[in-house]
Chain A
């Protein structure tokens, strides 16, 4: 698993590689004694779904949180459209258009869909500028319209009304709302952490449709999952992490689940084939 054993895979790029949107190099992250990320490289392009896979504790969530500014990397460089940027806080990431949908969704169940979609960025009515912003009247109707649009854009058909409390929604609907919130914020990069882990078949399908919609709308999508079926249905490339380091990045159409599982569990050095679709990780 150590970095000296970096595989030298095929360097053949896809026929028309989409331009990389977000790219990071040499990300290091330690939690006390735990070396969670060991010089990880990662990239994602617009209009692409990049799956991020690895065993439990491989560092997927940590990498995602570093990209979202929730954790600060100990070392590493960030590039957006080739320009170096710094991501030191969630606000930095938001300003750069990077949004994360957390594993636990972080929705307020006691508020309705429209309120959740505008949470933290509530619209206020014009003409009350003499009051401090937090005491200006909310423009609820405008927020409802905005929510309606966001939901329609993702084609979440089962949701009847944006005035329903989130507490009464199904898991798939909640996931869709969490995604809609991330997308609504002028984002270009949307990262999803195990969005289907707790869902049944039909709801998983619903979420995968939403992810595909994100690709169609030109977002750069990072998708963490354990489910090979989902990954092969939705992703364009697959980045495998193991023990906090890169294994390789595969083009989905040129590999198969067995190879990915082998790379996840054993790495490349002991047995996994490296001749197929795997690109050099570093």
Chain B
């Protein structure tokens, strides 16, 4: 899978002459190669905070023994939970980024939805019903912006900037004090419920088995129909890496507490959206519109409706992010959503994950990894006692790096013209 992107034909160079950049671009074009940069970034950050810093402390005599606080199960657990809200929003934002649009209002939408949730449960609406209502509200808030982008033709940047301002105001209207505690059992349960250790492991094993079966079955079907096969090394490599990651994560989480329901929900929703974006005509049309809107229009795709649906999905994901946040903090505050850094972190997560700001390339799974990068940076810098200023500057540098990688990969695909 990683090896067969090299082309024959007029523009082909002998493989030996491929520059590093060419190889890099080729790798990014493959389905799993797109994960490599963000996984490397994550590995580098974890190695720095988890191994290099403690080792340095040991050498300089500050610590008596080698102790990695960053890589402790407790911290990993917190890291995942901290990143979950960012990840939820980033997954949603990825959908509009695929179209070549952007949503600046996602965090504000999440804020309005969380505030609405708090007010509803306070008024005695059952928790589950309040969640459903809030998700519907999120869809409406997103789709309304989508209508303006698609049918009125206003650039999404402007529409959602207006949305950002408007929804921030709306949140302040709903929460005049800027703060509200959420005590509802159902809502709190989303972040509090832990899957028993064995069940968590069972879920992980089922995922691994499903992943392996699907991959192997696809390979068998390719063989049966006489289609070119994936390289066995790549195939088994994927399965082994995936299994290793899943099992390690679950064992680590079990070592501190257990697999939290929140993460299961997040992964489940992402899997569903991942499937929709890669394996359905709707998903295909997202990529087509992002790659070449004119082409999509000419082959009869309903470009406007697709846009509205995509913005509706961001709204839904923002609402879910709001619910997750309210559940985790046990409260809703203006600064935690609309007024804080959540928006930039979520967009940063999507882009750092490898989703292109120019549209047509990316994946929701990358958004989760990007959120982990952002979360790890924040968490690691917190542990080292860095100031908020340092955190901002490092995050900015990482984001810039990610966008630069995006731009370089992109100029590669244009060079073929």
Contacts and interface: CB of A to CB of B under 8 A. Distances in A.
Contacts of B390: none
Given A108-B288, A110-B413, A169-B9, A138 B280 contact: yes
A111 B413 CA distance: 11
Contact of A135 (B26, B280, B291): B280
B5 A138 contact: no
B55 to A, nearest CB: 42
Interface string A195-217: 00000101100000000000000
Interface in A62-114: 70, 90-91, 94, 102, 104, 106-111
Given A108-B360, A134-B281, A137-B280, A90 B10 contact: no
Contacts of B405: none
Contacts of B291: 108-111
A168 B8 contact: no
A193 B70 CA distance: 61
B287 A108 contact: yes
A144 interface: yes
Nearest to A104: B294
B10 A158 contact: yes
A161 B228 contact: yes
A138 B279 contact: yes
Interface string B284-322: 110110111011101111000000000000000000000
Interface stretch (B172-180, B219-227, B244-252, B327-335): B219-227
Interface string B392-417: 00000000000000000000111011
A236 interface: no
B292 A106 contact: yes
Nearest to A172: B10
A119 B281 contact: no
Interface in B1-37: 4-5, 7-11, 26, 29
B211 interface: no
Contacts of B416: 167-170
Interface in A139-198: 140-141, 144-145, 148, 158-161, 163-165, 167-173
B288 A119 contact: yes
Interface in B208-247: 218, 221-222, 225, 227-228
Contacts of B7: 160, 164, 168-170, 173
A147 to B, nearest CB: 10
Nearest to B290: A110
A145 B225 contact: yes
A145 B292 contact: no
A202 B295 contact: no
Given A120-B300, A158-B10, A111 B281 contact: no
A37 interface: no
Interface string B106-147: 000000000000000000000000000000000000000000
A107 B227 contact: no
Nearest to A94: B300
Contact of B227 (A70, A121, A141): A141
A115 interface: yes
Interface residues of A, number: 46
B275 to A, nearest CB: 8
Contact of B413 (A70, A102, A106, A168): A168
A90 B299 CA distance: 9
A122 interface: yes
Q: Which of B4, B8, B299, B360 has the most CB of A within 10 A?
A: B299
A133 interface: yes
Contacts of B221: 141
A282 interface: no
Contact of B298 (A102, A159, A160): A102
A136 interface: yes
A107 B292 contact: yes
Nearest to B221: A141
A1 interface: no
Interface centre among A111, A144, A168, A200 (most CB of B within 10 A): A168
B188 interface: no
B287 A122 contact: no
B255 interface: no
Contact of B29 (A136, A159, A165, A203): A165
A136 B279 CA distance: 8
A124 interface: yes
Given A165-B29, A168-B29, A169-B9, A134 B299 contact: no
Contacts of A203: 10
B5 A168 contact: yes
Contact of B8 (A70, A136, A144, A160): A160
A119 B285 CA distance: 8
A147 B282 CA distance: 20
B5 A110 contact: no
B358 to A, nearest CB: 9
B59 interface: no
Given A109-B360, A172-B10, 7 more contacts: A109-B292, A119-B295, A121-B299, A160-B9, A163-B228, A167-B412, A202-B10
| 9 closest Cβ pairs, A-B complex | A120-B299, A167-B413, A108-B291, A110-B360, A106-B295, A110-B291, A134-B282, A158-B9, A170-B10
23 contacts: A106-B298, A107-B292, A108-B296, A108-B360, A109-B413, A110-B287, A111-B287, A115-B287, A119-B299, A122-B281, A134-B282, A136-B280, A138-B284, A140-B279, A145-B225, A148-B227, A163-B228, A168-B29, A168-B416, A169-B416, A170-B10, A172-B10, A203-B10
Interface of B: 4-5, 7-11, 26, 29, 218, 221-222, 225, 227-228, 276, 279-282, 284-285, 287-288, 290-292, 294-296, 298-301, 360-361, 412-414, 416-417
